[in-house]
Amino acid sequence: LFTAAYTGVNAGLVLAVADDPGMHSSQNEQDTRMIAQAAHVPVLEPADSQECYDYFKYAPQLSETLDMPVIVRLTTRISHARGFVALGDQVGNFEKDYEKQPAKYIMMPGYARGRKVDLLKRIEAAKKLSDSTELNRIEAGDGKVGVICSGVCYQYVKEAMGDTVNYLKLGLVWPLPEQLIRDFAAKCEKVYVVEELDDFIENHC
């Protein structure tokens, strides 16, 4: 995964990962967001069945745009959910011709050093995208309390709090949208972060 981020991709490369907070059927409680941050790889986190479908259509395009793998993080309640899904139009063919580029794909140290510099530029582009993408959105509610959440936690908070709080609903959870978080927090007197497993978003805030 780390090396694939260095080399980049040709056609879109999407990894589906099923994290299991609470270890309902797993031997460990990995938090893929931590791994993705270390590898400099973007992470999408859907909040329901429709978003699962939409994000998996979008992820290959994002992968090609940023020239890097993209992870779609699913957690237990999303993976085991069912719901109505509007299919929409099918995405086009992602097949690409292979172009021989040793300096891009052969990660000997001499090439890899240059690709690391390029990777840092690509992750900066991903950070800018995180602030502007519709996957990250503010939902205005009543009062001065704000909640930042992603994935199934968004559903939990919406069910518990309804429209009594303001929401920053994150779909692209790495890189996180720094300016959007600042703008959201500036409009609230108190902000809570609700997330599954590690305090990933909280620490970033």
pLDDT per position as a tens digit, 160-169: 999 999 999 9
Instruction: Give me the mean pLDDT over the 119-128 stretch.
Output: 96
Residue 195: band (very low, low, confident or very high) from pLDDT cuts 50, 70, 90: very high
User: Is the Cα torsion angle 104, 105, 106, 108 positive or negative in sign?
Assistant: positive
The reported pLDDT for the residue numbered 20 is 94
Say how far apart CA 191 and CA 205 lie, in whole Å.
Answer: 10
The residue with greater pLDDT, 149 or 93, is 149
Instruction: Give me the mean pLDDT over the 106-119 stretch.
Output: 96
Say how far apart CA 154 and CA 45 lie, in whole Å.
Answer: 11
Q: How far from 76 is each of 34, 51, 136, CA to CA, in Å?
A: 17, 15, 22
Instruction: Give me the mean pLDDT over the 16-30 stretch.
Output: 93
Strands (E), the chain: 14-18, 43-44, 70-74, 137-139, 145-150, 166-170, 172-174, 190-194
Residue 95: band (very low, low, confident or very high) from pLDDT cuts 50, 70, 90: confident
Q: Tokens 């099923």 correspond to what residue?
A: 18
Residue 38: band (very low, low, confident or very high) from pLDDT cuts 50, 70, 90: very high
Asked if 96 and 10 count as a contact pair (C-beta separation under 8 A), the reply is: yes
Instruction: Give me the mean pLDDT over the 169-177 stretch.
Output: 97
Instruction: Give me the mean pLDDT over the 51-68 stretch.
Output: 95
Check whether 143 has a pLDDT greater than 90.
no
The reported pLDDT for the residue numbered 90 is 78
In this structure, of 76-80, 174-178, 190-194, the range with the lowest mean pLDDT score is 76-80
Q: What pTM, to 2 d.p., does this model score?
A: 0.94
CA neighbor of 9 nearest in space, from 70, 69, 91:
69
Residue 94: band (very low, low, confident or very high) from pLDDT cuts 50, 70, 90: low
How high does pLDDT run on average in the chain? 94
